[in-house]
Amino acid sequence: MSLPLGILALLLATVAPPSPGPIEEAAKRHDFEWFGLTLAEAERKASREDLEFRVVKADGKYLSLTKDFRPERINAHIMGNKLVAVEIEGMSHTIAEGVIDLRHLFYLGLTEKEAINRAKLNGRPFRVVIRNGKPNPVTMDYIKNRANAVVVDDKVVAITNG
């Protein structure tokens, strides 16, 4: 007995795993500590490591927050149920992992050279602002389409504009 093609396609669609989205694809390119975790995974990780954790931005909207400063508190940005950026209070740069602007996902996990080449192809100024935890001297001018990268062990782990 054979099934009609429509029913067979429906059965396969419910059994086959969904194809990964851009966040999952970016998370595969590097062994990120926080980026790409689900909210529940991040909360468990923070609890295991005895770190304060809060979501500061969800689906593009900033949440109401206290203004107290707590060194090493994890401030997470989530999209859907995935962490897309992590800020660590007291660190000298804006984000430790991920992207605030999802259009930059394609840089994450690339080597520094790959990211520079991709930026050149896109006509985008590119600079590394922090390499392996050490800030590089940078100009204070703001260039809207410039990519500012944080690189760890030759991999781009965070990227912002400016």
- Per-residue confidence (pLDDT) for residue 19, from 0 to 100: 56
Q: Where are the domains of the chain?
A: 20-161
pLDDT, tens only, 10-41: 444 444 444 568 899 989 988 899 999 999 99
Q: What is the mean pLDDT of each run of 10 residues along the chain (162 residues)?
A: 48 48 89 94 96 94 91 93 93 81 91 96 94 91 92 95 87
- Per-residue confidence (pLDDT) for residue 1, from 0 to 100: 47
- Per-residue confidence (pLDDT) for residue 29, from 0 to 100: 87
- Per-residue confidence (pLDDT) for residue 4, from 0 to 100: 52
**Is this prediction's pTM over 0.85?**
no
Give just the sign of the alpha carbon dihedral 60, 161, 82, 72.
negative
SS3 55: strand
How far CA 91 is from CA of 8, 20, 45, 49, in Å, comes to: 53, 31, 19, 18
